[in-house]
Amino acid sequence: MKRTCSILTWTVPLWCMACGRAGAPRSDIDDGIAEHAMVVTAHPLATEVGVAVLREGGNAVDAAVAVHYALAVVLPWAGNIGGGGFMVVRTANGKVITLDFRETAPMRASRDMFLDSAGVANPRLSQFGHLAVGVPGSVAGLQAAHDSLGSLPMARLIQPAIDLAAMGFGLTAREAQRLNEALVGLRTHSTRPNAFTTKSHWRAGDSIRLPELAVTLGRVRDSGPAGFYTGRTADLIVAEMERGGGAITKADLAAYTPVWRAPVHGRYRDLDIHGMAPPSSGGIILLQLLAAMETVDVRTMGWQRVSTVHRMVEAERRAYADRAAHMGDADHVRVPVAGLLDPMYMRERMQDIDEQEATPSAAIGAGVPDEQEETTHFSIVDAQGNAVACTTTLNGSYGAHVVVGGAGFLLNNEMDDFSTAPGAPNAYGLVGGEANAIAPGKRMLSSMTPTIVTHHGDLVMVLGTPGGSTIPTSVFQVLLNVVDHDMTMQEAVSAPRFHHQWLRDVIQEEAGAITSTDSATLVRMGHGLVVREPIGRVDAIRVLPDGRLQGGADPRGDDSIGGY
């Protein structure tokens, strides 16, 4: 299979010249290069697991399954079997397909379940504890992907995760910090003692063993999804729900089904962009943002200079306003996908921007399309040219802070991704309306944006990121960094980022994302700016003109590149 893309012909000297013009930062991280296959994940141990599968002759989907299970052990705040996600797959023959294994609302869920007597949403209930948990989809989703596209035995793919859980692994400094920050919540909301709370303070290098999780994974290895959604594991989940006042029943677990969906597709320059359809909003938002930039010369405007940032922010205001009004689970509500993705629709939305003045978000509502921050992502390309972009999540860091007693795994808090009340923001500040209201069996709206880029059928890029509401804008910026600003994959991933999401009306920026001079100009134009913690953790792969693979592992985390 031919992987190369003729338009990607940039060299380091050309990048340096572009930097001089645009003011883009030069990363000091060496670009990872692989001749045949590559894995980029949020944890070195998970990367090693994926590369080993590829070396043994497994394909990209096999590696994705193994990586996902490994992350459920070594990245407990986001990797999971108690959550869900989305997978975009490009097969060696050029076909792109997508798998939705997003969580669903339990059948006992109700529209007003998080409202108090005055009709006000209570974010504590939707973000922490048992009532915040949606029916997990990861185990069923990984099985569906393997059944359709895998090649190695499923037991081989799960075993590394079992070994890591049983034998233990050393915590990185970031992992120790994250776990310490979550300890109070884990002790408060879990109803049984668990491995995470055996210490009062964790340090980098401490070894943590998860024997109950090892046994749970063993049941999945031996019995497939039935080893999770029925039998002993299901009993433990339901018992945890009953002790903590949750809503999930055995019937909810037995009824869960992942869904193969048609990808959303659009073009930017002469590239084809493939992403997730609803209930992910990410694919639509990304394509809307790219459509807004298609008509301008981004390269000449310069990397994150005033005119570039201004236009990107104005596009983000409009796309996120559309998200709030129009997007939800397309199996339950009508989402005007074709209208939202019509390039002319977004260009018309951009016609009223003032190049010299910010548009207040309060003055922007959703358009009328014509219908004629915790997650993890990994990117994989195998030697045959199969590619996987997979984003998976518990939603918040450590999800609902509920560890299933006797089973050793964390449960998600995805119910907070519904619109708990009209105009009420969720944990990421996103608001929504009727399209994303809670209903039994419904999938909550997501921002996850696993993305595959091709050119005339040839693979160009595989990318995605965690980051809640910032996910689509992070993928957007990395794409522009490569396509318009001539960065390598690592440079594009490492470059500082900014974000706007309509409400609240402020540009969130990482330190160094916008120069002080340009920031002052943007403020005079009416933009609000605030410096915040790092945005996202993009893991990405780019195919070079000679067919080699160039990785980008985000330095904001413990992310790593592996390959051969």
Distance CA(527)–CA(531), nearest Å, equals: 13
List, by residue number, the catalytic residues.
375
Tokens of 454: 């091709």
**Distance between CA atoms of 349 and 343, rounded to whole angstroms?**
10
CB-based contact 205:171 (threshold 8 Å): yes
Residue with tokens 């205001």: 317
**520 lies in some domain:** no
Q: Domain count for the chain, please give it.
A: 1
Handedness of CA 446, 447, 452, 455 (dihedral sign): positive
The answer to whether position 190 is within a domain reads yes
Q: Is residue 439 part of a domain?
A: no
Residue 533 counted as domain residue = no
pLDDT per residue of the chain (564 residues) written in tens, 0 to 9:
335 443 332 222 222 223 333 344 333 334 689 999 999 999 999 999 999 999 999 999 999 999 999 999 999 999 999 999 999 999 999 999 999 999 999 999 999 999 988 888 898 999 999 999 999 999 999 999 999 999 999 999 999 999 999 999 999 999 999 999 999 999 999 999 999 999 999 999 999 999 999 999 999 999 999 999 999 999 999 999 999 999 999 999 999 999 999 999 999 999 999 999 999 999 999 999 999 999 999 999 999 999 999 999 999 999 988 888 888 989 999 999 999 999 889 888 888 888 888 777 676 655 555 443 578 999 999 999 999 999 999 999 999 999 999 999 999 999 999 987 766 666 555 556 788 899 999 999 999 999 999 999 999 999 999 998 899 999 999 999 999 999 999 999 999 999 998 877 899 999 999 999 999 999 999 999 999 999 999 999 999 999 999 999 999 999 999 999
CA distance 243 to 507: 43
Residue 49 resides in a domain = yes
Coil, helix or strand for 398?
coil
- Give a yes or no: residue 304 inside a domain: no
Q: Round to whole Å and give the CA distance between 417 and 400.
A: 12
Distance, in Å, from the CA atom of 496 to the CA atom of 384, rounded to the nearest integer, reads 33
Amino acid (one-letter) located at 540: A
Pairing of strands 387-393, 375-381: antiparallel
**Residue 324 identity:** A
CA distance 109 to 37: 44
How is residue 430 written in tokens?
Answer: 């996103």
> Domain for residue 516, yes or no?
no
What is each CA distance from 506 to 290, 307, 501, in whole angstroms? Answer: 21, 17, 8
**Beta-carbon-side half-sphere exposure of residue 240 (alpha carbons within 13 Å):** 30
Measured distance CA(467)–CA(474) in Å, rounded: 8
How far is it, in rounded angstroms, from Cα 180 to Cα 199? 9
Task: Find out whether 87 and 142 touch, Cβ atoms under 8 Å.
Answer: no
**Rounded to the nearest 10 degrees, how much is the dihedral formed by the CA atoms of 128, 130, 136, 138?**
50
In a domain, 490, yes or no: no
Q: In angstroms, rounded to a whole number, what is the distance separating the alpha carbons of residues 402 and 563?
A: 35
Judge contact between 374 and 466, C-beta under 8 A.
yes
Alpha-carbon gap, residue 337 to 110, rounded angstroms: 26
Residue 28's pLDDT is: 35
- pLDDT at residue number 369: 58
Tell me how far the alpha carbon of residue 556 is from its chain's centroid. 15
What residue numbers bound the domain in which 197 lies? Answer: 42-260+375-416
Q: Which residues on neighbouring strands pair with residue 233, listed in sequence order?
A: none
- CA atoms within 13 Å, Cβ hemisphere of 308: 24
- The pLDDT, as a whole number, for residue 527 is 93
What is residue 344's three-state secondary structure?
helix
* Nearest to 494, CA basis, from 29, 34, 172, 42: 29
